[in-house]
Structure 1
Amino acid sequence: MCQINTQPSMKWQIGCIDVYVPPDIINDETSTDVSAQELDNVTLSCKATGHPPPKITWRREDHEQMLLKKIGGRDFYKVESYVGSSLPLWRVDRRQMGAFLCIASNDVPPAVSKRIILNVNFPPTVIVPNQLLGAPLGTDVVLECTVEAYPNTINYWLKNRGEMLLDGPKYTITEERSSYKDLMKLTIRQFSKTDIGTYNCVSTNSLGKSEGTLRLYEIKLYPSSQSAAEVNIGGLTEGAVKQKSAYSKSNKPIPILALIEWLIITVLNLR
């Protein structure tokens, strides 16, 4: 206020100063990294000071869309961002796991953010893409299992539910981890008759244990030059030409659908 003392009355005028303050996150009132059981309800909080009052925006650090549910709802809906000091996650799902950014901004640079990691704990689930696999002798066979679990698991392979397989000259065992998923691979070198059998991929963590089963069998390849063979069916003798398989040696086992197709072609040729 400026004032002039005059007669007969004083003159004065008021001016206001508005001080803009950039945002600052209040750590004591903001969530730290969170761990929760799957299907628990989780709320992430983020508080900030500044003038004008900051707006809080939530995003995923990996730039993927956020999966959210309405409270009491079952279905997810996707959003790029969420505005609010609290981010409610109803019946949290493993797909929501990851790093979240709470960003505070009020048009006074710079904006500030805090990184909050959400971990969702759940027991292992093993997914086997191909449970029945066939391969010719002498080839390298690759068996695969996908494991979903958190916290991290201990994974191993069993043969015929007895022998634990180890990485070495005969077997190559690898794992490729990404977030809560782990791709288990078992490569059997120079597939032989002794390798025929049942294989189990086993995964365990502090919350439980799970396993998948794969059965491996031999696919026989016949040379194309082999002449017609005599086959006895029901007391009658018929000529049958054994064709060379359309599936040559490869680094991967032949799935059951490919085997069925090969069998159909063979039966048609026999007719």
Structure 2
Amino acid sequence: MDWFSANKMQANPEKFQAISLGRKTHDKNITFNLNGTTIACVEEVKLLGVTIDFNMNFNSHISNICKKAARQLNVIKRIGKHLCRLGKLTIYHSVIMSNFGYCPLVWHFCSEQNCKKKKKKKKKNKLKIQERALRFIYEDHTSTYNQLLDKSNLSSLKTRGMRAMALEVFKIINKQSSLFLQDLVQLRNARYNFRNQKTLELPRPRTTRGKHKMFTCWNFFFLLVGISNFVDAQRPDIVDEILPEVKQKNQIGYLNCTVVNKGSESVVQWTKSETVNGGNPILLSEDDKIVYQGNDQGINEDSGLKKYDIQSRTNGRRITYMLVIRYLAEEDAGDYLCTIKIQGVEWPEWPKKIGKLTVQIAPQIQPSINSIYEQNIGTSLQLNCESHGNPYPNITWKREDGQELPLGGFQSRGAQLNLTDIQRNDRGNYICVADNNVKPPDNFKVELIVFFAPSCRPVQSSVGQAQNRRFNAKLECIVAGYPQPSMVWMKEGENGKRIDIQDDDKYDITKQFSSQLQNDEFWYTLLVKNVQAKDYTKYFCVGNNRYGSGETNIVLFETMECQGSNCPSAGGSGTSGLEASLSSILLLGLLSLFLI
């Protein structure tokens, strides 16, 4: 009350709580008088979220947080079907376990009996809550509690509490904790040089009543004396996990190994312990020096840097040794072992941790695949496409022209593409694409050639042209077939008789090429020069090979005006226009003679 008066503050008696510790003291019903207000001692009070009872066993607090965690777990179970395992684990750590992570040093060991209650009593205890949560996350109702902990890579609540207590003792010993905690214990100064020279000096209660709660709290430190001695021994150790590294070919890989309490008698080594080729382990470095002398350690001509390098950085008692691997190749992938070599200690007891390096390789299709296949109609064929890369590539088949595959669909996933009952429309180019998200993807083209009889189709089924005016007519035909057909032009003569057409002064036969045609298609042109009345008839395009023949016809008919791109324009340009101009000059000359 003097403090309130000195700071010009007025105490509110309704905000005060009183509790007497111990059964005998509590039974005396002690009361306090504050400015005329009587304050009686209660069985339990809540201070900063922790419920303290007069017996100092914290049973009420444990029961409250277990009930709260159980309610939260029941709510999460209702929405569990909408959550993935990672989401469940995130909620487990942030919601469920946060209840047991608040002030564990105060109540953890005092409530040990709550963890040992029989299941048949159906009491909610903290271990049971953790077990129920893990069974819900992993959907496992057969494994034991310890097996669930191993599967989730988690520690039990008891182990977590012991770690928290051990950390606090370590802080007290090294003067890193609060002053009021440091005042609770003292370091014993032994008169002799024992191994456990630094041990905690604990208070000795003047009572034989082992159940006295005020002194039971000190018994926790007896369990931690051995732990504090081990921590204080400062043995070298690797404190953090070595995170896996995933890089692409020709990039730079980094692996970090962080050690603590490294003395002058210990050496940190990096060793290439396992490779993709199954080679022997290779010692790469000792402390911050590269000792590897392989052929690939030479200086790169472009960058001027070596393949392996070590970079170290110090943060208090922690030293991080970073292994740098440049110009990554496929053989660099594998396990890298970080080891602390301790003098006078056998190799199996050296601290070790493994870092995994994955080198991503762009896909590459193996050249064993054939690029051309020749098949008869009605046969079957299996196209195989094998690819190499890391990660293993996804392989997709498709047609180069974008048409649908013979078995349906525009893409087929997998290394094999089965073609059954092959028909002439199945011919063409098939492309195998290998992709693993490492650029660039690889592809390979396979040409399927099908033996079939020729088929012919006209570019235009009828062509018109004017007669007796020195105009030409162009007839065009596309012939498909394999092997390549022999092609002839014919026309219908008198009485329907077909007449072979030869390449001469009247007819001009040419073979054209187009990127729009397939490899077994050919474009033929027949140019009928200076069209006359007798040229108006039906023309035949005929193709032949050993599998048969095919034909189509084109009709040439008369028109009044010139047809085609080579006709004279209205302005008289072009060759025909020049002829018209010369005719006009001659006509004017003749008229001038008659007029004279």
Same fold (TM over 0.5): yes
Paired with 1:99 and 1:128, the residues of 2 have a C-alpha distance of: 24
Q: Which residue of 1 aligns with 2:483?
A: 151
In structure 2, do the counterparts of structure 1 residues 48 and 251 end up closer, same or farther at CA, with 3 Å as the change threshold?
closer
The answer for unaligned runs of 5 or more in structure 2 is 1-336, 566-596
The answer for unaligned runs of 5 or more in structure 1 is 71-75, 220-246, 253-271
In structure 2, do the counterparts of structure 1 residues 159 and 69 end up closer, same or farther at CA, with 3 Å as the change threshold?
closer
In structure 2, do the counterparts of structure 1 residues 25 and 250 end up closer, same or farther at CA, with 3 Å as the change threshold?
closer
Paired with 2:510 and 2:396, the residues of 1 have a C-alpha distance of: 40
1:169 offset after TM fit, Å?
A: 2.4
State TM-score, norm by structure 2. 0.32
Paired with 2:538 and 2:459, the residues of 1 have a C-alpha distance of: 15
Matched, 1:55 2:394: yes
Provide the secondary structure at the position in 2 that maps to 1:43: strand
Q: Which residue of 2 aligns with 1:115?
A: 445
Whether the 8 Å contact between 1:46 and 1:102 is mirrored in structure 2 is yes
Provide the secondary structure at the position in 1 that maps to 2:534: helix
Paired with 1:101 and 1:43, the residues of 2 have a C-alpha distance of: 14
| Residue 172 (structure 1) aligned to one of 501, 508, 513 | 508
Cα RMSD (Å) of the superposition?
3.3
Paired with 1:111 and 1:137, the residues of 2 have a C-alpha distance of: 60
Q: Which residue of 1 aligns with 2:545?
A: 205
Whether the 8 Å contact between 2:465 and 2:561 is mirrored in structure 1 is no
Whether the 8 Å contact between 2:398 and 2:405 is mirrored in structure 1 is no
In structure 2, do the counterparts of structure 1 residues 159 and 89 end up closer, same or farther at CA, with 3 Å as the change threshold?
same
Identity of aligned residues (%): 24
Higher helix proportion: 2
Could you say which structure has the greater relative contact order, defined with CA pairs below 8 angstroms and 6 or more residues apart? 1
Question: Where do residues 1-271 of structure 1 align in structure 2 (5 Å cutoff)?
Answer: 1=337, 2=339, 6=345, 10-20=349-359, 22=361, 23-28=363-368, 30-61=369-400, 64-70=401-407, 76-77=408-409, 79=410, 81-128=411-458, 135-138=465-468, 139-160=471-492, 161=497, 163-177=499-513, 178-179=517-518, 180-216=520-556, 247-251=560-564
In structure 2, give the amino acid aligned to 1:120: V
Whether the 8 Å contact between 2:478 and 2:521 is mirrored in structure 1 is yes
The structure with more radius of gyration: 2
In structure 2, do the counterparts of structure 1 residues 19 and 95 end up closer, same or farther at CA, with 3 Å as the change threshold?
same
Whether the 8 Å contact between 1:172 and 1:187 is mirrored in structure 2 is yes
1:165 offset after TM fit, Å?
A: 1.7
Paired with 2:485 and 2:396, the residues of 1 have a C-alpha distance of: 34
Paired with 2:394 and 2:459, the residues of 1 have a C-alpha distance of: 46
1:116 offset after TM fit, Å?
A: 1.8
In structure 2, give the amino acid aligned to 1:67: E
Whether the 8 Å contact between 1:36 and 1:120 is mirrored in structure 2 is yes
In structure 2, do the counterparts of structure 1 residues 217 and 43 end up closer, same or farther at CA, with 3 Å as the change threshold?
same
Paired with 2:358 and 2:465, the residues of 1 have a C-alpha distance of: 76
In structure 2, do the counterparts of structure 1 residues 16 and 147 end up closer, same or farther at CA, with 3 Å as the change threshold?
same
Whether the 8 Å contact between 1:154 and 1:203 is mirrored in structure 2 is yes
1:131 offset after TM fit, Å?
A: 5.7
Whether the 8 Å contact between 1:39 and 1:92 is mirrored in structure 2 is yes
Provide the secondary structure at the position in 2 that maps to 1:194: helix
In structure 2, do the counterparts of structure 1 residues 110 and 137 end up closer, same or farther at CA, with 3 Å as the change threshold?
closer
Whether the 8 Å contact between 2:463 and 2:474 is mirrored in structure 1 is no
Whether the 8 Å contact between 1:31 and 1:46 is mirrored in structure 2 is no
